[in-house]
Amino acid sequence: MSSLTARCPGSARQPVLAPALLPALFLLLFLAARPHAQSVNPAKPAARPRFSADKPAETLAWEIVSQMSDEDALAQTFMLGWVGAEPSPLIMDWIRDRRIGGVKIFGWNTEDTRKLAETVGVLQNAALEGDFGIPLLVATDQEGGWIRHVKGATSETPGNMAIGASGYPRDAYLAGYYIGRELAVLGINMNFAPTVDLYTNSASTLIGPRSFGSDPVQAGILGAAFVRGHEKAGVIATAKHYPGHGDTDLDSHGVLPEITAPFEMLWERELVPYRMLARENIPAIMSGHLAFPNTQAASTPASLSPWFLRTVLRDQIGFKGLVITDDLMMNGATLSAGSLSRAAKQAFIAGNDIIMVSKTPNLSDPIWTSLALAMREEAGFRERVRDAARRVLETKLRYLRGGNAVPYVPDLQKVDTELPDSEGSGFFLGLAARSVTVVRGDLPLSPEKAGKVLLAGQFDDFFSAGKKAYPDAASYYYSASRGSWELNYYAREADTVIFCVSDAAGMNLLRSLEGSGKRVYAFSVLSPAYIEEATWTEGAIAVYSYAPESFVAGFSALLGRIPAPGRLPFSAGSGPAPQKAR
């Protein structure tokens, strides 16, 4: 028998392989079937798009979001605060482990300006280590005037109502520019300003001098000019508090204010600045925790209302930019929704793109876990959050790249040498002078006419400027705990009392001087609404902040050394007053 053949019973002769040859043949078959080494080209995973790629913002935003997991996308919509001057371990965990999209700087983070700049650099470096290299939105509230969260070496400024009193759009532009330029030195690339709430309720203690005034068109013009100044400085401006916080004396930090105006009135009044700013392509708007029961939103806060944010803001007004919640830890939001996590979900559904929380939650807090679960289980919610993340990225790509962008890591030498802004200091003094307003009375009040002067106030800078104007004046530092008898005791030797009023308590004390036989001048800071009823005083002037420049300008006008060209940006005693910007 051949070694290569064998006979099977009942069949023809068939060739078979000897068992000893089988391993060799299997090896030949394996080698024949194996691709040649030089032709091997295994598929490589697609490279993740990088934030720094040279592509249009809209295109690159879509590419990045398409490569993101649901949790990556959700993280981009979070903006969190933290406690302390240095980055807390927890905020670093949120940046490194979750890759959140933004942080919010509050006043408790900012006393040491250099330390703040170092902190911003640490936060940004941690963010840039992520797979996509996406920087943080670093935001704060630096409105000017009364609200100045970044303190330390930054400028104190006359504020929005001073701009409204001067009436010049260029003042609004330069205020936005110089405030923005200081923020940029610190690496802060987003500002929750301008405030375009109207001063329609003179009893409002939350808005007051933060407003440009009561005229909606002027507020829109000045707000748009402020935004252009920020744009020149490379900072993202954010108008607030949509749809308008000015017509209430309640504070949404503690309660949910109700504003009874019908929608028709809101459209022609509070919403006018937003309608104007949307046409000017403002990049962001903050939604307010405010209820408007005589509108379709009923008792739902505007910040959680699809009707206010999607139907009115997006569809009717045509706003294309980011919508950011006011702090969700404010009772105006959480009391309505029942919990922080419910408020956050409602905020997304309503149309917000960023949820802002002032304190750092735990990584496993329901505000994260419940939203992540909803993205897995609810297709519509998942799409809404991913669309919000795309809008966040597109805004970042438009503003955080290029030659005009705020640097991610601040230059500490510039922090030491460029704050406060030297050009800005001269401008803000000029703005303070242009905004001084004579409310009533015959000026000037010369030292000879004044005789013996008593300066009564609460601010060191008031006394400093006042003593330079009236060198022989006596000083009385009052507080709410001191009785009117003490003021009258100090006033008994004076011919003239110059009394600084900044709030209702000060106004109550000022009343005790009526009928005293003394010549009394009211020196109003912040809102001048408090001195409207003090018609018995010999004179009254208004400045609009307690910045040193405002006191210097006020006393200069009182002495007659400079004119007082400012006008009240609202009508005394009667709410809103139409006034054209000039």
- Catalytic positions, written as ranges: 253, 326
Query: What is the spatial distance between Cα 383 and Cα 376, in angstroms, rounded to a whole number?
Result: 11
* Torsion sign, CA atoms 78, 83, 87, 92: negative
Query: What is the spatial distance between Cα 105 and Cα 99, in angstroms, rounded to a whole number?
Result: 18
186 neighbors 116 (Cβ within 8 angstroms): yes
Contacts of 12 (CB under 8 A, 6+ apart): none
Pick from 167, 214, 172: nearest CA to 193: 172
564 neighbors 437 (Cβ within 8 angstroms): yes
Helical spans, DSSP H, in 167-304:
169-185, 216-233, 263-268, 272-279
Cα atoms in the Cβ-side hemisphere of radius 13 Å centred on 477:
7
Q: How far apart are the first and last CA of the chain?
A: 118
Query: What is the spatial distance between Cα 32 and Cα 24, in angstroms, rounded to a whole number?
Result: 12
35 burial via Cβ count (<10 Å: 0-12, 13-18, 19+): exposed
DSSP string, 285-327: EEEP--BBTTSTTBTS-GGG-HIIIIIIIIIII---SEEEESP
Q: Which residues of 539-555 are buried (b: 16+ CB within 10 A; e: fewer)?
A: bbbbbbbbbbbbbbbbb
- Bridge pairing between strands 355-357 and 142-144: unpaired
- The residue type of 99 is R
- Structure tokens, 84: 């302390």
